[in-house]
Structure 1
């Protein structure tokens, strides 16, 4: 019997008060922000907001607590845009939605940063609940960046994977690591690069003893990409069942899956609130369609980051996921 675990892919919306405070603080500290120094006022707002989103998750009853990635103004590109070996280029559309990020242009070796580890350490000090780390997957970070140093795609992808593995190695104790890989769907790797993308995931996953969940979203993986990804050594593969059902079911039916599974069943971009019972029923429906349902762990989550939601809707989505996992445990006990 599978264990149901409620969680999210991270990248939370800022509390409303924090948006106002940050707008004021950043307006007064424009020079510091350009130079990479957030300044004491901005840092204090993020610290207070982090404490709030951690408390929100605990109160909602989530099984795994994320730091929230509130500082990630550049979305999944953040670990590079704050790096000393990276210049930030022009504004680029974030996949096919109305969010944008600054193009990270890699100009030198991607050495250790420690930025995300520092965020996790701050979150770990706020709660004794199981901690979940979140990173862009290596292929997505490679896809979102521009290489002006390594010279070819293969070398650059390997360098991004090694960089992320080094960052993970510095993380404080964490229960799970979510690697977010929307680029595997949005801009899938071609022949040759698909195998290297799998090897890159393997490199990052092997840098931690925690459970590693690879979460593609905005649709389903192409068959060949899916098959190659399963060659990597990670614990759970994620599926965006909000955006695409048929292809995700086909991939599982045709190629199997990992021992654990992550189901994106609540909409991370839509303010419509799912009832906990509906989320549980969606999980049952997925399992009814596939031949193998003896997953050790099933993570119930939103299909995408919740960055796009108003904060009150975000809170409600967390509560629904937590209750859905609890209902599923009772139903299948």
Structure 2
């Protein structure tokens, strides 16, 4: 019997009060400069907001609790956007939606920064058990950036992977690391580069003593990309069953899976809140359609980040994921 784990991919919306307060302070808006050295008033606002979203997850009963990534105005590009050797330029559309980020242009070596580790350290003070880290996967971070230093796409991919590994090595103790890789779906690597992705992902995964989940979304991976990704030394690969259940199911049926699996079954962009019973029916549907469904751990999560949602709907999605897993466990015990 698989161990069901309720979690999220992180990147939460700001609480309503924080949106207003941060907007009032130095004209802060989505896409403004967040450099890691905000003044004490901004830092205090982010600290209070972090405390709130951590408590929301804990109170709901999520098995894994994330820091929330509330400072990530540039979404997955954030770890580069705050780096001293990266210049942020014009506003770029964040994949195919109405969110935007500042283009990070790498101009020198990607040395250690520590920004994400500092956020996790703060979250760890409030999480007794089940802390989960979130990072962009190396391919997605390289895809979102522009390289004006390394000069070769393969070298740049591995430089980004080494950078992320250095950041991850500084994390406090975490139980799980989610590597978010939507670019593997939205902007699939060309032939040659696709075979480099498993090594890059493994570089980051090896930096933590934790279970590692690679979570692509906004569709399904091309067959060749998926087959390559299975060569990475990770515990689980995620599947966005909201955006494309047929193609994701085909990949699982045709190529198999890792020992663990992450199922994106709640819509991270839609305000309609799923019922726990419906979520569990979707878990059963996936397993019923696989020739072999013997996973050590199954992560039940939203398919995408939830920063697209109103804050109250984000809270409801978190509660729905936790309630679904709790309900499934109760039914098993009965």
Question: 2:133 — aligned with what?
Answer: 133
Question: 2:24 — aligned with what?
Answer: 24
Report if the CA contact (8 A) 2:111-2:163 is conserved.
yes
Please report the RMSD computed on the Cα atoms of aligned residues, expressed in angstroms. Answer: 1.4
Question: 1:287 — aligned with what?
Answer: 287
Q: How many residues align?
A: 331
Question: 2:273 — aligned with what?
Answer: 273
CA deviation map 1:148-173 (0-9, x unaligned): 00001011001000000000000000
Matched, 1:117 2:112: no
Q: Distance in 2 between matches of 1:327 and 1:257?
A: 26
**Which residues of 2 match residues 17-96 of structure 1 at below 5 A?**
17-27=17-27, 33=33, 37-96=37-96
CA deviation map 1:109-149 (0-9, x unaligned): 00000000000000001121310000000000000000000
Matched, 1:159 2:154: no
Question: 1:318 — aligned with what?
Answer: 318
Report if the CA contact (8 A) 2:15-2:49 is conserved.
yes
Q: Is the alpha carbon distance of 1:49 and 1:241 closer, same or farther for their aligned partners in structure 2, counting shifts above 3 Å?
A: same
Q: Distance in 2 between matches of 1:292 and 1:215?
A: 21
Report if the CA contact (8 A) 2:34-2:82 is conserved.
no
- Secondary structure at the counterpart of residue 282 of structure 1: helix
Q: Distance in 1 between matches of 2:34 and 2:268?
A: 31
Q: Is the alpha carbon distance of 1:240 and 1:42 closer, same or farther for their aligned partners in structure 2, counting shifts above 3 Å?
A: same
Question: 1:13 — aligned with what?
Answer: 13
Q: Distance in 1 between matches of 2:160 and 2:253?
A: 32
Q: Distance in 1 between matches of 2:11 and 2:235?
A: 21
Question: 1:201 — aligned with what?
Answer: 201
Q: Distance in 2 between matches of 1:317 and 1:200?
A: 32
- How far the C-alpha of 1:37 sits from its partner, in A, is 3.0
- Secondary structure at the counterpart of residue 92 of structure 1: strand
**Which residues of 2 match residues 136-215 of structure 1 at below 5 A?**
136-215=136-215
Report if the CA contact (8 A) 1:3-1:329 is conserved.
no
- How far the C-alpha of 1:36 sits from its partner, in A, is 5.8
- How far the C-alpha of 1:34 sits from its partner, in A, is 7.5
CA deviation map 1:17-39 (0-9, x unaligned): 0000000113289xx95876311
Question: 1:301 — aligned with what?
Answer: 301
- How far the C-alpha of 1:332 sits from its partner, in A, is 3.7
CA deviation map 1:172-198 (0-9, x unaligned): 000000000000000000111001111
- How far the C-alpha of 1:327 sits from its partner, in A, is 1.7
- Secondary structure at the counterpart of residue 62 of structure 2: coil
- How far the C-alpha of 1:331 sits from its partner, in A, is 3.0
CA deviation map 1:233-289 (0-9, x unaligned): 000110000000111011001100000000000000000010000000100001001
- How far the C-alpha of 1:229 sits from its partner, in A, is 0.2
- Secondary structure at the counterpart of residue 26 of structure 1: coil
- How far the C-alpha of 1:292 sits from its partner, in A, is 1.4
* Runs (5+) with no aligned partner, structure 2: none
Report if the CA contact (8 A) 1:26-1:33 is conserved.
no
Report if the CA contact (8 A) 1:26-1:42 is conserved.
no
- How far the C-alpha of 1:328 sits from its partner, in A, is 1.9
Q: Distance in 2 between matches of 1:36 and 1:59?
A: 29
Q: Structure 2 length as normaliser, TM-score? A: 0.97
**Which residues of 2 match residues 221-232 of structure 1 at below 5 A?**
221-232=221-232
CA deviation map 1:90-125 (0-9, x unaligned): 100000000000000000000000000000000001
Q: Distance in 2 between matches of 1:34 and 1:3?
A: 38
- How far the C-alpha of 1:329 sits from its partner, in A, is 2.1
